[in-house]
Structure 1
Amino acid sequence: MLTHLEVDGFKNLVNFAVDFGPFTCIAGPNSVGKSNVFDAIRFLSLLTDHTIMEAALQVRGSGIDASDIRGLFHSSEHGYADRFRIAAEMIVEPHVRDDFGRPAEATSTFLRYEVEIGYESPTFRGILGRLVLLSETLNYITEGDANNKLKFPHSAQNFRKAVVVNKRRSASGYISVQTAADGQTEIVVHQDGGSRGPGQIAPAATAPRTIVGTSNTSVTPTILAARREMQKWQFLALEPSAMRKPDHFQAESYLSANGAHLPATLYRLVTSEANGEEESAGIYATIANRLSELVPIDEVNVEVDEVRQLLTLEVTERTGVRLPASSLSDGTLRFLTLAVLVADPEAQGVICIEEPENGIHPAKMNEMVKLLQDLAVDPSEVPGPENPFRQVVVATHSPAFVQLQDRQDLLFALETRMKGKHGESIQTLRCQPLEKTWRAEAGQSSVGLGTILAYLSAPPGAQLELSQLVYE
């Protein structure tokens, strides 16, 4: 669970900070930079499985050309920044497995991870510059500090005590930096998991990957837990063509970021050894009931073709007509995919979605909002199979979608100007909550309803208004 994010020097994010709850809706106009918040989160996730350069090239907007990597750095009239920093405070699962299948237990579950990336100019003309690791740290947050760090409304007894554990007593944390005798920055990996002795030291400037990105054994269980957490951060970009496809029997049985493997995922849920026949039927019924709030259907099921070894998702309309997923509309498929995700207790971590309202009629928008809210963990209860430890962050520019949100969950992406390093005026982004919400009460700058009139009133030039009914 990502509770706090800080970004400085990445794209248009300068001295940027935001607190997240179980469900967060970021609203803002097109091109304001909402997607850059997701890109910063995605960059951290990519670093867990890729080199620094590979992660940079996969972040949306930087393309596949290495000459574009400067686009990740904030730019002003004085040129590009030479470094950016991203920090994340997160709650991790205590029990994880390493790449060899061995179990490991983190000594702390509430962590602060910080990484600083620099740009190194080429030595010769025609040679591209490269990204270098300037700093990387991983520290623990104590149970006492968690009281102030977890700002969103939650149950201290049921939620916080269940997810925040700290057995670490060393002041060094898990990863720190130090300066070597030659002035170079070194990354220090401190002992964990019962090990003793001095930490391992590695030079930062020559590292192709981060320390977290190379932690794959149970020897460093807490670093491994941080890696596993960031690996679970998903960025859903549901594609109709992927959601419509049937699955082979041997296909991956977990939903992909584009919505692929929908039939296999649902089939895994209903055929799980933990479920009896009644429970399996209940999963089908629950998903069908949710979908019936959007379209007139009675049943959802997975058709098993033993001859072709295919799994096909089907729905049965109230008229009795059976339709394969390939015949459903884009919006219906998107809703159905999210409904399956809600039903999957193994789907955990951060789930980021841009414009989830696409393809949904305004009259049915409330059903989509409720579905997304149900996808997130309930912080008043203990996380578990019935309350999966999931977090949802959505970005939207839809007034109808915004009007249906709980005001406590809303953030408004606003452009603002500030003084840069050289005294120049630079444009950046701030995500501000509404007045009298938990973020505002924690001291964050907030906005009133007057600032967000564009989300509450008819757009300029509207030809049809509700007030016209009086004159008809």
Structure 2
Amino acid sequence: MIRTVAISGYRSLRDLVVPLGSPTVVTGANGSGKSSLYRALRLLADVGQGRVVQSLALEGGLPAALWAGPEQVTRRMRRGEVPVEGQVRRGPVSLRLGFAGSDYGYAIDLGYPVPDKSAFDLDPVVKAETLWVGERLGRSNAIAERRGPAVLLRGDDHGWRRAFDHLSPLDSMLTHAADGRDGFELLTLRERLRGWRFYDSLRTDRDAPSRRPQVGTHTPVLAADGADLAAALQTIREIGDADGLDAAIADAFPGSRVEISSTDGFFETTMRQHGLLRPLRAAELSDGTLRYLLLAAALATPRPPELMVLNEPETSLHPDLIAPLARMLAAAATRSQVVVVTHADALAAALAAEAGAVELRLEKSFGETSAADVDAPVWRWPER
């Protein structure tokens, strides 16, 4: 389980180090930095996919993603005694992401490339990367390091050896130096990152794909937009916890049952409700009902990930569905580490009652996000 997440220099997250539990609930007012924390976790996952540079480009490039305040924030600035203004920069431009668990820790440092008249001189490059054993980086527990174009691995004799010599500054050592024979720890971490799952764009609009029949195939993992809902639900019925799924639906909609119709290989979600003579097709369901079914399919997956992060799952849900949603999340947290980013205090309270959720209440002061009433874990960034 991930115990610590650290972000530095990303949007309002000037220097944030927070603990994670399971489940963890991230709350706070609008603009407090919840979305930035969510996106930072996605960027970490993108490192494993080899697309962190492209993801930052889609955010507007490194200049748009960097902390926009002064490098040094003084007490006099905070008190309004002196104007907020830039000063001569002492350190390099840096966007750093990292996490640590009881087994491994990892951090990456991104910055600007050396100017060379390239049209891509705003693309970030990797300045430093380190993989270590344990929760804190120390002097002797690093097992993989990036030094310029070289990747060094620590051997059984505790000495370092070069495993890769020609790594592009645009690439992570996780994607190019991971090997089952030499670099097994890098390979393990890469696959773990690739297994992280995020849900923030489950569609329930009139034209949502989940409202229409879709080609049915085994689907142990619901798509990010929920397009394969019917196939995902049928997969749970056949190889997953069908009773748990039925119980979660009955918990929210007493007397109701979800069924999957199949015609010429096309699956469609239908729902029988008490008092109706025929099942309702997905196209007829309300946004809130459909969203609950999408969340049920995501959370009851027969292939639970190491980490599942949901952004505002309560959107479109009636207040009466918050408690059933919390119970579904609590059940999922017994199989995966679950992080929920939410505006709903009721959901945070329900998760605390159901599963003893760790709450991270974010607040912003002077443009900088911090976690209220949280003792920041000890953290050390790798040096460039």
In the TM superposition, residue 410 of structure 1 has moved relative to its aligned partner by 1.5
Which protein, 1 or 2, shows the higher relative CO under an 8 Å CA cutoff with sep ≥ 6? 2
Based on CA coordinates, which of the two structures has the bigger radius of gyration?
A: 1
Task: Please state if 1:352 is matched with 2:316.
Answer: no
Identify if the C-alpha distance between structure 1 residues 230 and 126 changes in structure 2 by more than 3 Å, giving closer, same or farther.
closer
Q: What are the within-5 Å matches in structure 2 for residues 255-270 of structure 1?
A: 255-270=222-237
Aligned with 1:361 (options 318, 321, 341):
318
SS in 2 for 1:15: strand
Aligned with 1:249 (options 190, 193, 216):
216
Identify if the C-alpha distance between structure 1 residues 202 and 55 changes in structure 2 by more than 3 Å, giving closer, same or farther.
farther
C-alpha contact 2:6 2:99 (8 A) present in aligned 1:
yes
Task: Please state if 1:85 is matched with 2:42.
Answer: no
Instruction: Give the aligned partner of residue 221 of structure 1.
Output: 184
Q: What letter corresponds to residue 175 of structure 1 in structure 2?
A: A
Q: What letter corresponds to residue 198 of structure 2 in structure 1?
A: F
- Give the paired residue count: 349
Task: Please state if 1:57 is matched with 2:21.
Answer: no
C-alpha contact 1:174 1:223 (8 A) present in aligned 2:
no
In the TM superposition, residue 190 of structure 1 has moved relative to its aligned partner by 3.9
**Inter-partner Cα distance in structure 1 for 2:132 and 2:372:** 27
Q: What letter corresponds to residue 175 of structure 2 in structure 1?
A: G
Aligned with 1:299 (options 257, 270, 273):
257
Aligned with 1:202 (options 165, 171, 185):
165
Identify if the C-alpha distance between structure 1 residues 403 and 252 changes in structure 2 by more than 3 Å, giving closer, same or farther.
closer
C-alpha contact 1:43 1:55 (8 A) present in aligned 2:
yes
Q: What are the within-5 Å matches in structure 2 for residues 387-406 of structure 1?
A: 388=335, 390-406=336-352
* CA deviation string 1:363-389 (max 9, x = no partner): 332112222222112xxxxxxxxxx2x
Aligned with 2:174 (options 183, 191, 212):
212
Aligned with 2:270 (options 314, 318, 326):
314
Q: What letter corresponds to residue 19 of structure 1 in structure 2?
A: P
* CA deviation string 1:196-217 (max 9, x = no partner): 983314366x432101122554
C-alpha contact 2:19 2:376 (8 A) present in aligned 1:
no
Q: What letter corresponds to residue 78 of structure 1 in structure 2?
A: G
C-alpha contact 2:220 2:236 (8 A) present in aligned 1:
no
C-alpha contact 1:134 1:185 (8 A) present in aligned 2:
no
Q: What are the within-5 Å matches in structure 2 for residues 96-111 of structure 1?
A: 110-111=103-104
Instruction: Give the aligned partner of residue 23 of structure 2.
Output: 23
* CA deviation string 1:29-60 (max 9, x = no partner): 112211111111111111212244213224xx
**Inter-partner Cα distance in structure 2 for 1:47 and 1:26:** 23
Q: What are the within-5 Å matches in structure 2 for residues 38-437 of structure 1?
A: 38-58=38-58, 62-63=59-60, 68-76=61-69, 77-78=85-86, 82-90=93-101, 110-120=103-113, 122-124=115-117, 128-141=121-134, 171=140, 173-178=142-147, 186-191=150-155, 198-202=161-165, 206-215=168-177, 217-219=179-181, 220-237=183-200, 238-240=202-204, 241-250=208-217, 252-272=219-239, 283=242, 285-305=243-263, 308-319=264-275, 320-377=277-334, 388=335, 390-406=336-352, 408-417=357-366, 427-433=367-373
Identify if the C-alpha distance between structure 1 residues 321 and 38 changes in structure 2 by more than 3 Å, giving closer, same or farther.
same
Q: TM-score, normalised by structure 1?
A: 0.66
In the TM superposition, residue 121 of structure 1 has moved relative to its aligned partner by 6.3
* CA deviation string 1:265-285 (max 9, x = no partner): 22223333xxxxxxx8x71x4
SS in 2 for 1:198: strand
Q: TM-score, normalised by structure 2?
A: 0.80
C-alpha contact 1:189 1:201 (8 A) present in aligned 2:
no
C-alpha contact 2:25 2:359 (8 A) present in aligned 1:
yes
Instruction: Give the aligned partner of residue 382 of structure 2.
Output: none
Q: What letter corresponds to residue 187 of structure 1 in structure 2?
A: V
Q: Over aligned residue pairs, what C-alpha RMSD do you find?
A: 3.1
**Inter-partner Cα distance in structure 1 for 2:328 and 2:173:** 37
C-alpha contact 2:28 2:363 (8 A) present in aligned 1:
yes
C-alpha contact 2:220 2:301 (8 A) present in aligned 1:
no
Runs of 5+ unmatched residues, structure 1: 92-109, 150-169, 179-183, 273-279, 378-387, 418-426, 434-438, 444-472
Aligned-residue sequence identity (percent) comes to 20
Runs of 5+ unmatched residues, structure 2: 70-84, 379-384
